[in-house]
Structure 1
């Protein structure tokens, strides 16, 4: 065990050295470059199409545009068309009458699998098609003076009523859509947090198993039981992530209009992750080297399906995020271990604490270094700190500061052999870790560019 421990520390230090010399600036990230018609624009005539251009290539099988009128009805059933360079999507439109129209779009970067969902509105003031309809209505009007006068009065009241109703409809559905969208976004963030938490705990739980598998039979049964629970948590989170990539969770509710494609890189990575998760139920906690091979592959697949492959130097960034994930897993699962066994098996916990304290300290150091390293790649200007991405990043930084404080208190109590309130500090540390995971699920979903 000591030999493995020494090798592990050496690997961490080597990676740290490379991170220190390898900082570079990123080339870019997928973002919306141009939209036609422009958001909140007022048009004199019906546009021929909706066109959205992105700064990077998008997956051709996972792109959608939906245009709805003020009655929330889809105006066309045409399919989305992609440009040859896979950076632009278009949707042909029929002749539209005057009114307000909402555009919802959803795409996924073909490189890193980053989803981009957005919506905006435009207004048609008075199209030629609308004028023809008005003319047709006037021709059908009766010429009776009395009725004409009545209709004029009724028309004025009707116009006022319709104007108020249209104003109400234009505001009320928008409020409803926004509230639905907010709830759906929150649901997506929660599902992403479940996935990340499940992945971290599973990798770490398998890792720590190879240090505690010589404990008592009762202890091992409980450990393996929690291993199954964590595997199920990871599988649920993984499936929800795949469904989210397929845009099943939309702002309007649960939909399923897109097919899964095996042509893109990220789709293949998600499929491999799903296969590994299912295989894990049969092969984990049986053989030491098989366990380490499994956690190595699933961590690597996760990194390869993320933002790392979309930036340069790609190899260095992949290594950085891999070590970041591995270090976070060791820390998270170790905290869960202490919380589970603290009350009824305190002796095992006390023998585990010195080892965990060492690895937790190394993990926090590595997390800080790799976190700064990754931030440098995304933070190309100070303006990004004032975006939603930047604000959540600052919130994460604040929580990390508290983690350092709690970690220092835990180590201080261990050195003084005062473990009376150690359980409470560990629980606080675990809660802070969970908050960080939730913030990460949001940060990795938002576009970092202003």
Structure 2
């Protein structure tokens, strides 16, 4: 949640013009999100590291952090989240480069990095596009809710642009998520037997529900029904938070637990012991 909301917030700050009176609030919210991102990145990274360690010696810690994809990704994510406090909101191109780098680092710390050669490269690209699409959607919703009361005219102008961007993002989320699943799941029946598969199906159902409410939102925009728009955006934001919660659980689950013929490769794939 922290990663997607922070990167999405920064993206919208670079591609959409803010009024001068909106900038203090924007910077304050950005700082709050960055704190959340740094704390959660360090926290999750520490938990992952503890899980991967066998003897918990300094040598082994150093070996994992510098010699495995997961370790390098953790270090890069922490350093980038810390660096964000000093470089963000100064130059737009730097903001976009930072978003690109931290989403790339995150893509290497997950199931996408478990494969080799062409499949691994494809899964990493899908993971990056998936995260970026989620960031655009989530950041835009947060932007609307933040400024809805005090900057209504600005948000009225923002909504049509966001609506189109959100639709593209949701389509990309659906396509990349589907492709991502097909890469990982040799047979679709596994989705019904493993907990992560059941959670994934719930996520898909919620995403389809978002499509429905997105269509209703676009209809209300044309009719200019502000009361309905506000409720729909809040509901959309609630769905987004639930979906991100499910994704957060799935991301760190062992996908191989319910598939016995994968168990022998599970640890090596999780660690991905390649520099």
TM-score by length of 1: 0.53
* CA–CA separation in structure 2 for the residues paired with 1:306 and 1:432: 23
Structure 2 unaligned residues grouped into runs of 5+: 259-275
Query: What displacement does 1:377 show?
Result: 1.4
Give 1:205's aligned residue: 9
Consecutive aligned runs of 4 or more in structure 1 exceeding 4 Å deviation: 256-259
Q: Given the alignment, which residue of 17, 23, 31 partners 1:228?
A: 31
**Aligned CA-pair RMSD:** 1.7
- Return the structure number with greater strand share: 1
Gap change, CA 1:266 and 1:383, over 3 Å in 2: closer
- 1:119-148 CA distance string (max 9 Å, x none): xxxxxxxxxxxxxxxxxxxxxxxxxxxxxx
Give 2:40's aligned residue: 237
Residues 127-146 of structure 1: pairs in structure 2 closer than 5 A? none
Give 2:144's aligned residue: 338
Gap change, CA 1:444 and 1:214, over 3 Å in 2: closer
Query: Are the aligned partners of 1:247 and 1:258 in contact in 2 as well (CA < 8 Å)?
Result: no
Residues 92-241 of structure 1: pairs in structure 2 closer than 5 A? 197-216=1-20, 218-241=21-44
Residues 40-79 of structure 1: pairs in structure 2 closer than 5 A? none
Query: What displacement does 1:448 show?
Result: 2.3
Number of residues paired by the alignment?
A: 246
SS at match of 1:305: coil
Give 1:278's aligned residue: 82
Give 2:68's aligned residue: 264
* CA–CA separation in structure 1 for the residues paired with 2:2 and 2:184: 26
**Largest Rg, 1 or 2:** 1
Structure 1 unaligned residues grouped into runs of 5+: 1-196, 249-255
SS at match of 1:293: helix
Query: Are the aligned partners of 2:148 and 2:155 in contact in 1 as well (CA < 8 Å)?
Result: yes
Query: What displacement does 1:258 show?
Result: 5.9
Give 2:220's aligned residue: 413
- 1:105-164 CA distance string (max 9 Å, x none): xxxxxxxxxxxxxxxxxxxxxxxxxxxxxxxxxxxxxxxxxxxxxxxxxxxxxxxxxxxx
More displaced 10-residue stretch of structure 1: 360-369 or 264-273: 264-273
* CA–CA separation in structure 2 for the residues paired with 1:414 and 1:214: 21
SS at match of 1:421: helix
Which one has more relative contact order, counting CA pairs under 8 Å at least 6 apart?
2
- 1:326-360 CA distance string (max 9 Å, x none): 01000001000111111121111111111111110
Pairing 1:325–2:128 present: no
Query: Are the aligned partners of 2:69 and 2:113 in contact in 1 as well (CA < 8 Å)?
Result: no
* CA–CA separation in structure 2 for the residues paired with 1:448 and 1:215: 46
Query: What displacement does 1:434 show?
Result: 0.6
* CA–CA separation in structure 2 for the residues paired with 1:423 and 1:268: 42
Give 1:356's aligned residue: 162
Give 1:394's aligned residue: 201
Query: Are the aligned partners of 2:123 and 2:183 in contact in 1 as well (CA < 8 Å)?
Result: no
Query: What displacement does 1:257 show?
Result: 4.9
Query: What displacement does 1:213 show?
Result: 4.2
Q: Given the alignment, which residue of 70, 73, 94 partners 1:290?
A: 94
Query: Are the aligned partners of 2:196 and 2:250 in contact in 1 as well (CA < 8 Å)?
Result: yes
Give 1:447's aligned residue: 254
Gap change, CA 1:264 and 1:346, over 3 Å in 2: same
Query: Are the aligned partners of 2:4 and 2:138 in contact in 1 as well (CA < 8 Å)?
Result: yes
Query: Are the aligned partners of 2:77 and 2:102 in contact in 1 as well (CA < 8 Å)?
Result: yes
Give 1:366's aligned residue: 172
- Return the structure number with greater helix share: 2
Query: What displacement does 1:383 show?
Result: 3.4
